[in-house]
Amino acid sequence: MTDINMMIANNILDILRKQGKKQLDLAEGIGVSKQTMSKMLNGGRIINAVELKKISDYLKVSMDKIMITPEVCVETDVIHTFMGRVETDEAREALRIADEVSDMILFHHRVRENSVKMNQPWEA
């Protein structure tokens, strides 16, 4: 999932938290399963435009509020930074593999975090 999609998911989570609602409430409110909602908010699935509209309607906020992104995006991907500086194909392949492994680790970490959060009520 791209950084922009994760920002949108984080914005939705922030709005849910502020409204004292759970992801399960949102899933039911827009007519998707809790598993689908979990994937949407943890990076496993992109949220499409129709779903964004349903989410904004359910949360009673504008789509702009859901889609707000920082004005300045800082490159924090160290592997991609080094990719242009290595000289051998072997080094590029090693960095590509490291990039894939780190993506998998982060994805599974977000899935686990999200599953724990879905099973707890939001605190005011």
pLDDT at 82: 62
d(CA 36, CA 45) in angstroms, rounded, equals 8
Q: What is the pLDDT of residues 1-50, one digit of tens each?
A: 457 788 888 899 999 999 999 999 999 999 999 999 998 988 788 888 89
Q: Domain 3-118 - what CATH class?
A: mainly alpha
71-113 pLDDT, tens per residue? 554 445 556 566 666 778 888 788 778 878 877 888 877 888 7
In the chain, domain spans: 3-118
Nearest to 34 by CA among 124, 123, 117, 122: 117
Average pLDDT, the chain: 82
* pTM exceeds cut of 0.75: no
Angstrom distance (rounded) from CA 66 to CA 54: 11
Give the pLDDT confidence score for residue 24 in this predicted structure: 93
pLDDT of residue 105: 83
